[in-house]
Amino acid sequence: MSGGFPVDLILFAMVAAFLVLRLRSVLGRRTGFERPRREGPGAYDPSAARTAPATDTVPELPAAQAPADGTRRIVPDPRSPVGAALLRIRGVDPSFDPEGFLHGAEGAFRMIVDAFAKGDRQTLRMLLSDDTYAGFEGEISRREAAGETQRSEVRAVQEAKVEAADLRGTVADVTVRFVSDQVNLTTAKDGSVAAGAEAVTELVDVWTFQRDLQNQDPTWKLVATRSA
């Protein structure tokens, strides 16, 4: 994974300016799906280099320190197995920065959650792997066929923690645990509540992002999600 994960997302957002305009609240939404009545993206878990340095604009933060935006971002100790894996990733891509990666992962989390609720397939296609996209798209299609409307709002991301990391050749995986406060509500065709509620609920989602560090495409793709 690239140490400039957040940079990758920022660059991606800049290139796709229309996404920023349409999802300007994206920095506060979870890709953590709504926790629908049936298993949706939030609970979906598919069966499953860039060598140029990135200009990371995200300031480095000590592990477990809560930044000004309120999210507590936790990076494992370099001496731990997960920390050692992150160091191996950095060895392949010197621009990789764990703290910056978490910042970018949170942005992706919010963007994907928002896109899933809106049925924005174009955005999902760009940020998800093929298998993961198939799961999300299937739930969106089911929702549309049933005439349901999904509303998902990420009110706050309390914590973003690197839970696992792996490097196979030049392909890197980083798993992040998100703890967020959300409002998720599914409305049926007749306007009745099919699932969820207006109340804010704390949700825990575990997402895995993947990228081939030798690929010129800087986008980290979401390859697996599950609810904790």
Number of domains in the chain: 1
Given pLDDT bands bounded at 50, 70 and 90, which one contains residue 158? Answer: very high
Q: Is residue 180 part of a domain?
A: yes
Q: Is residue 63 part of a domain?
A: no
If you search the block for the tokens 């160091």, which residue do you land on? 87
Instruction: Give the model's pLDDT for residue 11.
Output: 40
pLDDT in tens, 1-18: 444 444 454 444 443 433
Q: Is residue 119 part of a domain?
A: yes
Any bridge partners for residue 73, and if so which?
65, 160
pLDDT in tens, 17-26: 333 333 333 3
Q: Is residue 97 part of a domain?
A: yes
Q: Is residue 22 part of a domain?
A: yes
Displacement of CA 12 from its chain's centroid (Å): 14
Q: Is residue 20 part of a domain?
A: yes
Q: Determine the structural domain holding residue 33 and report its residue range.
A: 5-55+75-227
Give the length of the chain. 228
Q: Assess whether pLDDT exceeds 50 at residue 65.
A: no
Tell me the pTM. Answer: 0.72
Instruction: Give the model's pLDDT for residue 66.
Output: 43
Q: Is residue 62 part of a domain?
A: no
Average pLDDT over residues 173-189: 96
Look up residue 5 and give its two tokens. Answer: 């994960």
Q: Is residue 64 part of a domain?
A: no
What CATH number has the domain bearing residue 43? 3.10.450.240
Any bridge partners for residue 177, and if so which?
161, 206
Q: What is the 3-state secondary structure (H, E, C) of the chain?
A: CCECHHHHHHHHHHHCHHHHHHCCCHHHCCCCCCCCCCCCCCCCCCCCCCCCCCCCCCCCCCCCECCCCCCEEECCCCCCHHHHHHHHHHHHCCCECHHHHHHHHHHHHHHHHHHHHHCCHHHHHHHECHHHHHHHHHHHHHHHHCCCEEEEEEEEEEEEEEEEEEEECCEEEEEEEEEEEEEEEEECCCCCEEEEEEEEEEEEEEEEEEEECCCCCCCCEEEEEEEC
How far apart, in whole angstroms, are the C-alpha atoms of residue 161 and residue 175?
8
